[in-house]
Amino acid sequence: MKAVQIMAPEQLKVIEMEKPAVDKKDHVLVRMTAAGICGSDVGIYHGSNAAATYPRIIGHEMVGRVEVVGEAVTGLKVGDRVIINQVTSCGECYPCRIGRGNVCDHLAVRGVHIDGGYREFIVVPESDCYLLPDSLSDEEAVMIEPTTIAIQSCSRAELGKDDMLLILGAGALGSTILKVAREICDHIIVADIVDGKLEEAKKNGAEHTINVLTEDLEEKVREYTGGHGSTVSIDASGTRDSLLKLLTVTGNAGRVMVMGFSTAPAEINQFLITSKELDVRGSRLQNKKFGEAIELIKAGKLDLSGSVSHTFPFTKAQEAFDFIDSRDPSIRKIVLTFDNPV
């Protein structure tokens, strides 16, 4: 079978490798049908992802059809359409024991630390597969994975109905967080530097928007929250000064969510956290949130249609990554497809 491997930064190759076999009773063989390209895949390709190791078959937004089931598999049958959980954990360390396997001490993410889904076939445990609703195409279904990341951040923030939420950044992550958050909370402010993205955020349920290039973030957040400040702030921008900004605009007893992967030091000040008794929390990957994302879709509360802007056959991955580097404004989600007889 063929696979897309990043041999080393900037070196992408389509390789030939042996098709995997179901060697454990509770595992299944999945024939890949669609795999999303995420910002983190682009980072591994360019060598800017600190977590990745090489050579690596990348791709963690993995959709396919079950082709072979192990003898102990009970919940899946041949032909089932599934999305695959990218997080694998040991089940025994402290985070795993308290139910937080997404930050397992021995965390292995498919497509980052171990091989992922840019290949024709993958073998995974049955428990890592989630059945897709019929309403979604395989290409659209890759968007379930980014949705789980958004659900994770809202869950870590303990977002509630009465919260006054500020989302900083209206890109791929911020706009997905908005779609998830509006099902939970009524008061959402979105801040960005691009008017077009802010207009879209308004259409998608933001109560207020702030262009931080032309408006004062602190003043506007105070105005839109009756003087208190946001009660929850989520950083979906990850810039050098974004954490300091959010510590400043979040009100007393609020929660500030950090999701960035930069290892560069950022300046903050202790008094902002101490004086307001803020909770500053990280949100990484997702903790078994696929079921929740699929339930939102089934209930008609989350519409993923129109999210995919381009598709490329997976053997043309180089072209797809080059196209992403062109920063063409039409780019939203790009999906690799697999020419499979169904």
Q: Which of residues 174-213 bind Mn ion (CB under 5 A)?
A: none
Nearer to Mn ion, 38 or 334 (CB): 38
Backbone angles phi and psi of 324, in degrees to 5: -60, -40
Cβ(64)–Cβ(79) under 8 Å?
no
Least distance from Mn ion to the Cβ atom of residue 38, Å: 3
Q: Of 7-15, 31-39, 126-134, 258-266, which part binds Mn ion (CB under 5 A)?
A: 31-39
Nearer to Mn ion, 87 or 191 (CB): 87
Nearer to Mn ion, 38 or 69 (CB): 38
Cβ(35)–Cβ(153) under 8 Å?
no
Tokens 């024709």 -> residue: 120
Residue 300 carries which DSSP code? T
CA–CA dist 310, 161 (Å, integer): 36
Least distance from Mn ion to the Cβ atom of residue 176, Å: 10
- Interface with Mn ion: number of residues (CB under 5 A): 1
- With residue 12 as reference, give the H or E element that holds it: strand 11-16
Least distance from Mn ion to the Cβ atom of residue 148, Å: 9
Q: Of 36-44, 51-59, 163-171, 331-339, which part binds Mn ion (CB under 5 A)?
A: 36-44
Instruction: Output the six-digit token pair for 305.
Output: 């249609």
Nearer to Mn ion, 96 or 143 (CB): 143
Least distance from Mn ion to the Cβ atom of residue 304, Å: 14
Residue 304 carries which DSSP code? -
From 29, 32, 38, 168, residue interacting with Mn ion (rule: CB under 5 A)? 38
CA–CA dist 73, 32 (Å, integer): 19
Positions that interact with Mn ion (CB under 5 A):
38
